[in-house]
Amino acid sequence: MKIIDITQEVFSCRVFPGDSQPKFERALSIERDKLNLTNISMCVHNGTHIDAPNHFVAGGKAVHELDLERFYGKCAVVEKGDIISALNNCHERIIIKGDCEISEETARLIADSNVKLIGVENQSVANIESPMSVHVILLEKEIALLEGLDLSGVNAGEYVLAAFPLKLEGSDGSPVRAVLIDS
């Protein structure tokens, strides 16, 4: 079994245009205080993260209300041109390699399928200039959106995904530690 970390490092991660970069502050140090204690400040949509439905859907579920089963199980890692093939092969979790922006048309196909999770390397599954419509189409169907992945060391294929959000009550997103398991 091989575990492949597909998470961006938090403090050097890519951020959505306009979001602040995560910050690290050492509140206590071993040298001065006999222990290290760190404070962090970040947007829940920095780096590798999930979007909850309430990010774009009024009355949608928050992170703490999501079914965790969506974030663990068999998945297909595909090149961006192979999304339809993955949909036709009944994959419930699809991760797309490369620079990929899901169109409204593709979002509707995904929404009409049995997909539980879509993952991308970009900081958004949709075009950064107009992300709302694609997010709404997918999040209204409670399809988990896993964004900001690092797939640089991953080949297309079948894996097991584990990418659980933090339990942040009421939040519209959450950082995750995402891994692929290759057995």
Rounded CA-CA distance 22/171 in Å is 17
Q: Examine the pLDDT at 90 and tell me if it is beyond 80.
A: no
Q: How far is CA 92 from CA 88, 133, 153, in A?
A: 11, 22, 22
Kindly state the average pLDDT of the residues 34-55. 97
- Per-residue confidence at 88, pLDDT binned at 50, 70, 90? confident
User: What confidence score (pLDDT) does residue 86 get?
Assistant: 83
**pLDDT band at residue 135 under the 50/70/90 scheme:** very high
127 band by pLDDT with thresholds 50, 70 and 90: confident
Which residue in the block uniquely carries the two structure tokens 């922006």?
101
pTM comes to: 0.94
Dihedral over Cα of 150, 96, 173, 5: its sign: negative
Spell 141-168 as b/e; 16+ CB within 10 A means b: bbbbbbbbbbbeebeeeebbbbbebeee
Stated as kind and residue range, the H or E segment containing 138 is: helix 132-140
Give the largest Cα separation in the chain, rounded: 59
- pLDDT score recorded for residue 131: 79
- Structure confidence at residue 89 as a pLDDT band (50, 70, 90): confident
As a whole number, the mean pLDDT across the chain is: 94
Check pLDDT > 80 for residue 74.
yes
Across the strands, what pairs with 3?
Answer: 181
Checking DSSP bridges between strand 49-51 and strand 37-41, what pairing results, if any?
A: unpaired
Confidence class for position 155, pLDDT limits 50, 70, 90: very high
* Pairing state between β 157-162 and 72-79: antiparallel
